[in-house]
């Protein structure tokens, strides 16, 4: 039996929220251990945000180059050197992994590379990557294992050895025809990136439209933009059978009887929490019906002094949301009262035109019975959009019908994610929409469109 090694704080998994808290505690002189299977720094810098956005930037460069040579929208656009793209992605990832490793070591925490499984409350058996065994116990334990790509239960799909975004980032050769299953954020970003790199792309979405969490005008703008780039979008159909092998030849049979033939298939149909095999029963940690760890507003699990962080706890699947979990836990450990209640988490979809959103959209307001005033402008009225030659898209704001409180904002267009931040600050400061309307915004910035947009907000009923 392994000797028990005791720590004040033990982290199982090294995602954004967990690694940040672990380093901070270690820097404060606490005895901290972080158990990680292999991705130093977490999924964001290894297989998610950073490498995918690097891939997208390489695709953007290829798209601009092709547009300059008159090949930007043709079916037979030049093929990109995928091996070079893969090297570019790897170089960015390697640099950030090295930065994280140095920060880990400098903090004084112990980094244990291996696979952990609970064998009791706050007690973890670790099979280290070098073949050893260690038994780790903590006064406080934090579960930060994240999620993995879900593969739908479609006959033949698993046998076809489909790509996820992880394998797609490592491709050395460009797919001739990539079939993407899933019209959410990952599917849309991968579809446009590979189309711009030179692949033929078909996207299959079972829902009636892509990006279903958004209002219909948003998804319509997205579908239109991607369609203009030559992406074949099929909505309202399900894959019912898959034959062949991804990377060679693959055929997808759809619920409407059509058959789509391609060379590669990529699955982007949701995420599954990494909770299986963790021994959570032994830890006294309960799961919800979807397999995520049950937590309260303090991120506490059903077991004493055991917490969950990030996606595995059902936190929205964004790195910045996980980082806010770090803030919540830091507050809880120091006797504060910060919780996850009523936090507004902004997000961006990194396609072109970009999508940025914070707060409610029209669909959500309607479902909750919240009366709103809506203003919307096309990007074509924003001077900077015209100077950039990027007039596709729009801005839209929701203001409470009975006050001047800003309830939500969405933008489809260049720099949307950055413009959203300006509105988010106004919302956090509880400024009336008139403060944004009358703010002096430098000309000509994309955010100058906020003056125009907020100037279009309808007056309150009764003229008040």
118-131 exposure pattern, b = at least 16 Cβ within 10 A, e = fewer = beeebbbbbeeeee
Residue with tokens 């009791």: 120
- The distance in angstroms from the start CA to the end CA of the chain is 74
Scanning 69-81, the segments in alpha helix (DSSP H) are none
Cα Rg of the chain, angstroms: 24
Per-residue pLDDT tens listing for the chain (464 residues): 579 999 999 999 999 999 999 999 999 999 999 999 999 999 999 999 999 999 999 999 999 988 776 654 445 556 789 999 999 999 999 999 999 999 999 999 999 999 999 999 999 999 999 999 999 999 999 999 999 999 999 999 999 999 999 999 999 999 999 999 999 999 999 999 999 999 999 999 999 999 999 999 999 999 999 999 999 999 999 999 999 999 999 999 999 999 999 999 999 999 999 999 999 999 999 999 999 999 999 999 999 999 999 999 999 999 999 999 999 999 999 999 999 998 999 999 999 999 999 999 999 999 999 999 999 999 999 999 999 999 999 999 999 999 999 999 999 999 999 999 999 999 999 999 999 999 999 999 999 999 999 999 999 976 55
Other Cβ atoms within 10 Å of 296 Cβ, number: 11
| CATH 3.50.50.60 residue spans of the chain | 4-64+71-149+272-333, 158-269
Residues shown for the chain: 464
Please, what CATH class does the domain formed by 4-64+71-149+272-333 belong to? alpha beta
Task: For residue 293, report the phi and psi dihedrals to the nearest 5 degrees.
Answer: -75, 130
Q: How far is CA 285 from the centre of its chain?
A: 26
Among 125, 103, 108, CA closest to 35: 125
> Which residues, 6 or more positions from 198, have their beta carbon under 8 angstroms from its beta carbon?
62, 77, 78, 79, 80, 174
Q: What is the pTM of this model?
A: 0.94
> Which residues, 6 or more positions from 65, have their beta carbon under 8 angstroms from its beta carbon?
none
Report residue 328 as tokens.
Answer: 């919540």
H helix or E strand, kind and range, residue 77: none
Peptide bond just before 353 cis, omega within 30 deg: yes
Query: Which DSSP symbol is given to 397?
Result: E
Task: For residue 43, report the phi and psi dihedrals to the nearest 5 degrees.
Answer: -70, -30
Note the CATH architecture for domain 158-269.
Answer: 3-Layer(bba) Sandwich (3.50)
Please, what CATH class does the domain formed by 353-457 belong to? alpha beta
* Catalytic positions: 443
């Amino acid at each position: 039996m392994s000797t028990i090694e005791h720590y004040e704080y033990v982290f199982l998994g090294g995602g954004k929220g967990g690694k940040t808290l672990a380093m901070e505690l270690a820097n404060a002189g606490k005895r901290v251990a972080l158990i990680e299977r292999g991705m130093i720094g977490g999924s964001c810098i290894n297989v998610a945000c950073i490498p995918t956005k690097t891939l997208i930037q390489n695709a953007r460069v290829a798209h601009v180059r092709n547009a300059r040579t008159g090949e930007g929208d043709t079916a037979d656009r030049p093929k990109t050197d995928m091996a070079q793209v893969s090297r570019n992605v790897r170089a960015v990832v390697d640099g950030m992994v090295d930065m994280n490793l140095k920060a880990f070591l400098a903090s004084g925490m112990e980094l244990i590379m291996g696979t952990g499984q609970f064998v009791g409350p706050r007690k973890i058996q670790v099979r280290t990557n070098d073949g050893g065994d260690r038994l780790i116990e903590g006064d406080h334990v934090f579960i930060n294992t994240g999620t993995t790509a879900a593969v739908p239960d479609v006959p033949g799909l698993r046998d076809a050895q489909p790509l996820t975004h992880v394998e797609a980032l490592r491709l050395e050769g460009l797919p001739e025809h990539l079939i993407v299953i899933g019209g959410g954020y990952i599917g849309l970003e991968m579809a446009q990136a590979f189309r711009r790199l030179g692949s033929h792309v078909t996207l299959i979405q079972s829902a009636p439209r892509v990006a279903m969490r958004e209002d219909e005008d948003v998804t319509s703008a997205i579908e239109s933009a991607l369609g203009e780039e030559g992406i074949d979008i099929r909505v309202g159909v399900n894959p019912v059978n898959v034959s062949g092998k991804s990377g060679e030849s693959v055929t997808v049979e759809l619920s409407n009887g059509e058959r789509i033939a391609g060379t590669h298939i990529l699955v982007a149909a949701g995420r599954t929490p990494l909770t299986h095999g963790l021994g959570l029963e032994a830890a006294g940690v309960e799961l919800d019906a979807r397999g995520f760890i049950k937590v309260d507003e303090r991120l506490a699990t059903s077991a004493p002094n055991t917490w969950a962080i990030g996606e595995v706890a059902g936190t929205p699947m964004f790195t910045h949301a996980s980082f806010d979990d770090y803030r919540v836990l830091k507050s809880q450990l120091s006797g504060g009262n910060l919780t996850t209640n009523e936090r507004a988490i902004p997000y961006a979809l990194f396609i072109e035109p970009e999508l940025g959103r914070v707060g409610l959209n029209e669909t959500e307001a309607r479902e909750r019975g919240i009366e709103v005033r809506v203003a919307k402008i096309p990007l074509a009225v924003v001077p900077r959009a015209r100077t950039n030659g990027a007039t596709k898209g729009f801005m839209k704001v929701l203001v409470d019908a009975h006050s001047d409180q800003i309830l939500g904002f969405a933008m489809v267009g260049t720099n949307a994610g950055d413009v959203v931040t300006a509105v988010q600050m106004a919302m956090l400061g509880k400024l009336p929409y008139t403060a944004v309307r009358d703010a002096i915004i430098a000309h000509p910035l994309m955010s100058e469109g906020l003056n125009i947009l907020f100037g279009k907000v309808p007056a309150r009923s009764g003229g008040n």
